[in-house]
A = this chain, B = another copy of it.
Amino acid sequence: MRDKKLVASIRDAIISAGLKDGMTISFHHHMRNGDYVLNMVMDEIAAMGFKDLTLNATALFDIHMPLIDHIKNGVVTTLMTNYMSAGLGKQICAGVMENPVQFRTHGTRPDDIIHGRTPIDIAFVAAPQSDDMGNCTGKYGKSACGSFGYAIVDAQYAKKTVVITDELVEYPMVGFTVPEVYVDYVVVVDAIGDPNGIVSGTTRITRDPVGLVMAQTAAKVVEHSGLLVDGFSFQTGAGGATLAGAKYLKDIMLAKGIKGSYVMGGITKYLVEMLQAGCFKTILDGQTFDLDSIDSLRNDPRHQEVSLYHYAGPNAPSCIVNSLDTIFAGATEVDVDFNVNVHTDSNGIIMGGSGGHSDICAGAKMAVIITPMFRNRLPMIRDRVTTITTPGKDIDVLVTQGGVAVNPKNVELKARLQAAGLPIVDIHELQAKAERMTGKPQPIRHGDKVVAEVIYRDGSIIDRIYNTL
């Protein structure tokens, strides 16, 4: 006999799933800054009078600003996330929460859920398409987001899972990602998000000349690293300069006839083009950024959807990042020990988070950070980063417009790049060069209240973020 999972409202789902004060609820961020679901659910939970919840989200954006009220009112008293945008970050840094925010990485979060360190009582899954039993996916629907990499683990390991969808299809859906066996309730709403905020119609590479110079240099670093051979694997993010780096790398790979193995990242059309051009045999996709990439995920079997645990779980028997040859990533600051900050700006205010930064840098044979020497008259190479996101031991090369610094541990790599004529400089020289143009930055003053803890891949607290004064 058919089970009944459809409930009439989010409130009914909350009641059915048995929410109680003190429980942990989870959200994923495939809807990004277009997400309506977290706010809808939290508003309902607050209206129902629940208190003292732990909210475990894969990432939080400024569309989630109403969360600040739920924090102030004691509805949410613990916050776990891998990323937080600047509007929320400013409030957290102002000290609105009693407990410090727990920042994890994209790999550590599912790992901690799966191994029982941060169990989830109720997962709320924003599903662009679902049937009435909860077979669901992000690949189809008016709010399509592409890969469902974050949602897979939450749905599977939460004690109860509620699917919230704005496109109900006839059972059984074709092309499901999460099977019904992990879903307890299904709610249909008018809209789970704003399509314009979920994916971009087009992703763009930078047109900034400094960015293009750095991108070209980064591609040359890979070219001469000794890693660019058949079977090469690569990840890049969706930032303008790193994407431009991928574009230059594509040209080199095509010119040399290199057949790579896989490419990962937030997936954009530039990476899809590399697949289609034969630079890689497969895309492993935990998060899809634009419409062309969603189309590729739907139609090209070489474009494979993966969970974030598969992507980067540090205690999984193996994970994809551990097989990476090289990655391009950005930084808000780097220091002379090659530590990287992507959590806070130079005033110490939260405006990001690791996401997969620490995961890919730890896993890859060569981690390349692309960042300008200065931004807005502030030098980006510091004596010490304001916040350590990724430790210097995991960073191999820093590319700036003023030269390339190689981590001193990489003696052979440095020699290779020097022999290839790349502009190798000591990181202290880069720092001095930047400071000649910007002056020595003032030390940041902050309060003594810990507003956030940065949890590294091994579970240790690698740094703390303090309140602003």
Determine whether A328 belongs to the interface, using a CB cutoff of 8 Å to chain B: no
A310 to B171, Cβ gap below 8 A? Answer: no
**Chain B residues, CB < 8 A from A313:** 181
**Chain B residues, CB < 8 A from A184:** 317
- The listed residue (B170, B181, B323) touching A171 by CB distance below 8 A is B323
- The listed residue (B172, B261, B318) touching A181 by CB distance below 8 A is B318
Measured CB to CB, the closest approach of chain B to A176, in angstroms, equals 7
A322 to B1, Cβ gap below 8 A? Answer: yes
A5 to B183, Cβ gap below 8 A? Answer: no
**Chain B residues, CB < 8 A from A5:** 317-318
A183 to B317, Cβ gap below 8 A? Answer: yes
Contact A281:B174 (CB < 8 A) given known A181-B316, A307-B179, A316-B181: yes
- Determine chain A's interface SS by DSSP, over half rule: loop
B134 to A261, Cβ gap below 8 A? Answer: no
| Mask of A292-323 contacts with B, CB within 8 angstroms, 1/0 | 00000000011010110110010011111011
Determine whether A187 belongs to the interface, using a CB cutoff of 8 Å to chain B: no
Nearest B residue to A174 via CB reads B282
Between A175, A181, A284, A309, the greatest number of chain B beta carbons within 10 A of the residue's beta carbon is seen for A181
A172 to B320, Cβ gap below 8 A? Answer: yes
| A residues contacting the other copy or chain, number (CB 8 A) | 41
**In the bound complex, how far is the Cα of B318 from the Cα of A282, in angstroms?**
33
Measured CB to CB, the closest approach of chain B to A229, in angstroms, equals 13
**In the bound complex, how far is the Cα of B181 from the Cα of A455, in angstroms?**
22
**In the bound complex, how far is the Cα of B306 from the Cα of A176, in angstroms?**
10
Measured CB to CB, the closest approach of chain B to A230, in angstroms, equals 10
Determine whether A333 belongs to the interface, using a CB cutoff of 8 Å to chain B: no
B174 to A306, Cβ gap below 8 A? Answer: no
Measured CB to CB, the closest approach of chain B to A175, in angstroms, equals 6
